[in-house]
Amino acid sequence: MDHTIRTFDADLSELARKVVQMGRSVKQQIENATAAVRRHDAALAEQVAAADSGVDAQQREIEGLAVTIIARRQPVAVDLRELVGVMRMAGDLERIGDYAKNVAKRVAALNNNFRIDAVMPQLELMVQQVLHQLDSVLESYERRDVNKALEVWRRDQDIDALNSSLFRTLLTHMMEDPRSISSCTHLLFCAKHIERIGDHITNIAEAIYYIVEGHEVEEERPKADTTSKDVVRPA
């Protein structure tokens, strides 16, 4: 909806642009962190960690602009929901950046003796699903497409299922070869960080739903994470 004061529309447009830009930044972080794990690239891992401060700065900039708009315009209804939703989204994007950094930090602890290619396809499948979800949720925000946001929300369980499958695979490797325990443990943490990224993307989808519909999603969030209950026994 266009506003009488055109600078208000310009402020909201600039805010939306910054949110999408921040989303692209954290996507690059995820991609670089995954590549660092795959290649055991310590330099790239350090680059991911160093870039996290830039993501933090983007969050502060978005929140500062949102607060300024609230103070100047005193928005109500959908405009106020937009600003509240944007601050929620920026917080989730910042946490996604933190998890990407945490994945990269595991590179230094991975043991070159473990054949990471045995499990990397499963990990990268999780990452590809997460990246697809992130692209979709940013697109849904740009278009205010609540149906697409709900699709992202419902598909979080796919990431949970991939995490559970990788969890069982890594436990099996550890039981078959105790020398792999250290590396597999760190890869378990990597997988959990990626699964948590999926959760924050789902939070963003909920924020978009709130902006458009004016209330929270009423359904219970679908989950398929069985890692807290899975028991893997030696053959």
pLDDT in tens, 26-58: 999 999 999 999 999 999 999 999 999 999 999
Domain coordinates of the chain in residue numbers?
6-213
Span 73-132, pLDDT tens digits = 888 888 999 999 999 999 999 999 999 999 999 999 887 667 788 899 999 999 999 999
Task: Give, in order, the Cα–Cα distances in Å from 117 to each of 88, 122, 123, 230.
Answer: 37, 9, 10, 24
- CATH number assigned to the domain covering 6-213: 1.20.58.220
| Contact status, residue 90 vs residue 82, Cβ threshold 8 Å | no
pLDDT above 70 (res 4): no
pTM: 0.91
Cβ-based burial of 138 (10 A; exposed 0-12, middle 13-18, buried ≥19): buried
Rounded to 5 degrees, what are φ and ψ at 218?
-85, -20
